[in-house]
């Protein structure tokens, strides 16, 4: 009498003998995945290599069938990172980067007098696009300055349409009979506002001088 276990076992051996040798777990290929991934495959079983998101293949086969020899064919698939559009030049600014490939991040800065309109860094995405969109360096501008009471603008020349550019200056003067407190010159700052406005005050001191003038003895 033959035990059922033995029958099972011998049929397994027969199967292996007829079917040939199994293939091992396929080699890891950088930036790729294998479907289905198992520890061994029967001859005739098919696997598919595909590049991971963000990577693309330049030629090479993708599908392999486990041969009777149990040895996977040589895989020539090469998965390389996607390359985002060139972004090495930022007008009126600078870009810091190593490469423009997925999954790298590049960063931006602007020259003095300009501000970053947009994000200060961008990442090359799986789709090969910059995210967020690339910024621009826009000139820092100051709106026309407000005018202190009892003052007039003596020197003012908007250099950007109706606005002024970073480091532009404007000069105030006080109306007659008024004295200036603070700096008569204001400057457009990197924040897009002007430095502190001066104040013009009535010459109350004149009245003071008049009343007290009699007390002042000439030298
Ligand atoms: C300057 O301001 C005036 C009045 O607000 C406006 O009509 C004109 O279009 C502005 N010019 C520029 C270049 O923005
Ligand atoms: C007034 O402001 C100008 C420009 O902002 C600066 O160069 C100058 O030193 C200031 N003067 C004084 C007395 O603070
Ligand atoms: C200009 O703007 C900056 C930043 O918002 C602020 O800290 C500063 O006080 C402002 N300067 C003046 C003179 O208002």
Cα–Cα distance, 168 to 108 (Å, whole number): 25
**Of 97, 59, 60, 99, nearest in space to 82 by CA:** 99
Q: Are 146 and 134 in contact (CB under 8 A)?
A: no
Ligand that lies nearest to the alpha carbon of residue 197, given by its number in the listed order:
3
Judge whether residue 154 has pLDDT over 60: yes
C-alpha distances out from residue 69 to 17, 24, 42, 192, Å: 12, 11, 11, 74
Cα(140) to centroid(ligand 1), Å = 18
Mean pLDDT of 171-177: 96
Is pTM beyond 0.85? Reply is no
Count CA atoms within 13 Å of residue 94 on its CB side: 5
Q: What letter would DSSP give residue 206?
A: H
Residue 162, ligand 1, Cβ within 6 A: yes
pLDDT category at 60 given cuts 50, 70, 90 is low
**Closest Cα to residue 24, out of 62, 78, 60, 64?**
64
For ligand 2, atom 12, name the residue with the nearest CA: 183
Given the CA of residue 162, which atom of ligand 1 is nearest to it? 1
| Ligand lying nearest the CA atom of residue 184 | 2
Q: Which of 41, 46, 38 is nearest to 63 (CA)?
A: 46
What's the gap in Å between 166 CA and the centre of ligand 3?
A: 14
- Out of 68-82, 121-135, 160-174, least confident range: 68-82
Of the listed ranges 74-78, 151-155, 161-165, the least confidently predicted one is 74-78
- Best residue among 162, 163, 164 to mutate for probing ligand 1's pocket (most ligand atoms within 8 Å of CB) is 162
Helix/strand/coil for 17: helix
Q: Could you tell me if the CB of 161 is within 6 A of ligand 1?
A: yes
Residues with CB under 6 A from ligand 2: 169, 183, 185, 187, 195
Mean pLDDT, the chain, rounded, equals 88
1, pLDDT greater than 50: no
Main-chain phi, psi angles of 22, to 5 degrees: -80, 155
Mean pLDDT within 37-59: 93
For residues 32 and 77, is the Cβ–Cβ distance under 8 A?
yes
């Amino acid at each position: 009498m033959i035990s059922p276990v033995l029958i099972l076992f011998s049929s397994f051996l027969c199967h292996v003998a007829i079917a040939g040798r199994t293939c091992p777990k396929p080699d890891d290929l950088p930036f790729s995945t294998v479907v289905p991934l198992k520890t061994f495959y029967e001859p005739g079983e098919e696997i598919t290599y595909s590049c991971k998101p963000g990577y693309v293949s330049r030629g090479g086969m993708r599908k392999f069938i486990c041969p009777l020899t149990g040895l996977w064919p040589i895989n020539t698939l090469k998965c390389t990172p996607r390359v985002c559009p060139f972004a090495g030049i930022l007008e009126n600014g600078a870009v810091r980067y190593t490469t423009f490939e997925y999954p790298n991040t590049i960063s931006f800065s602007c020259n003095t007098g300009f501000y970053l309109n947009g994000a200060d860094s961008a990442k090359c995405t799986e789709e090969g696009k910059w995210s967020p969109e690339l910024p621009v360096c826009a000139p820092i501008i100051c709106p026309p300055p407000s005018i202190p009471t009892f003052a007039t603008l003596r020197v003012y020349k908007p250099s950007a349409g109706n606005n002024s550019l970073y480091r532009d200056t404007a000069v105030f003067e006080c109306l007659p009979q008024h004295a200036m407190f603070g700096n008569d010159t204001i400057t457009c700052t990197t924040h897009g506002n002007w430095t502190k406005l001066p104040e013009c005050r009535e010459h109350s001191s004149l009245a003071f001088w008049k009343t007290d003038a009699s007390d002042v003895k000439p030298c």
